[in-house]
Amino acid sequence: MKAVILAGGYGKRLRPLTEKIPKNLIPILNKPLIEWQISWLKNQGIREFVLLIGYLGDKLQEHLGDGSKYGVSIEYSREVVPLGTGGALFNAYDLLKDEDNFIMINGDIITNLNIKPLTSIEPEYVGALALVPLPSPYGIIRVNSENRIEAFIEKPLIKDYWINAGVYFLRNDIFKYLPEKGDIERTAFPKLANEKKLKAVKYFDVKWKSIDTHKDLEEATKMLEELEGKL
């Protein structure tokens, strides 16, 4: 099975870091984000990768090469103009047309979740999305019925609400739903949800972080230190 990594974004909120290197090459614990992702998926049996590149894609391709130095193979699909997440995948059809299914991930996440539950969905589904509990951006205060403060809880997970973790299992039929330009989250996924062909797979006790800001980089570093660099 191949893994597709969305790696074409501008990373505007991470400037000036992303003025000279793509977001995926930003180091976290002295290792580029993209290498953490490759290691995580390789440890789960993935050996073939397709990178959807755009902004500063040459630097990413130069750094990773054909993947042999990581013990994997890497192919590239380049977008000349921004196509969105759905359009970028549509643009890579020739590299994926012979695949019955594949994993696709956002290029700005770090997680240790196990992809196997995603790949075990029933045949009627075109795809499955990994969901994680909504992380609160703030610490909260727990009080009792008398409004006596009992505890301070730092940025808890809000387990009544779920968010898209940016990790997908997709069958080849997804190409029937993709736009030539546009985001998969706003085009194909709503159509599939309306047709009841999209499965949710909830992950309760996993580490997960999306890297969008400088603060996210700090939090991702702490998370990886807690995991001792093992994804």
Is the pLDDT score of 159 beyond 80? no
Distance set, CA 50 to CA 75, 121, 225 (Å):
5, 23, 28
Instruction: Report residue 151's pLDDT band, with 50, 70 and 90 as the boundaries.
Output: confident
Nearest alpha-carbon partner for 167 in 126, 134, 196, 210: 210
Once rounded to an integer, what is the mean pLDDT over residues 138-151? 85
pLDDT tens for residues 57-71? Answer: 999 999 999 999 999
Instruction: Report residue 192's pLDDT band, with 50, 70 and 90 as the boundaries.
Output: very high
Q: Which letter does DSSP use for residue 112 in this model?
A: -
Residue 42 and residue 89: Cα distance in Å, rounded?
21
Residue 160 and residue 204: Cα distance in Å, rounded?
11
**Strand-strand pairing, 2-7 and 48-53:** parallel
Instruction: Report residue 43's pLDDT band, with 50, 70 and 90 as the boundaries.
Output: very high
User: Which residue out of 12, 155, 159, 222 is catalytically annotated?
Assistant: 155
Q: What is the pTM of this model?
A: 0.91
Computed over every residue of the chain, the mean pLDDT equals 93
Residue 23 annotated to the active site = no
CATH of 2-132+161-226, one of 3.40.630.150, 2.60.120.260, 3.90.1150.10, 3.90.550.10: 3.90.550.10
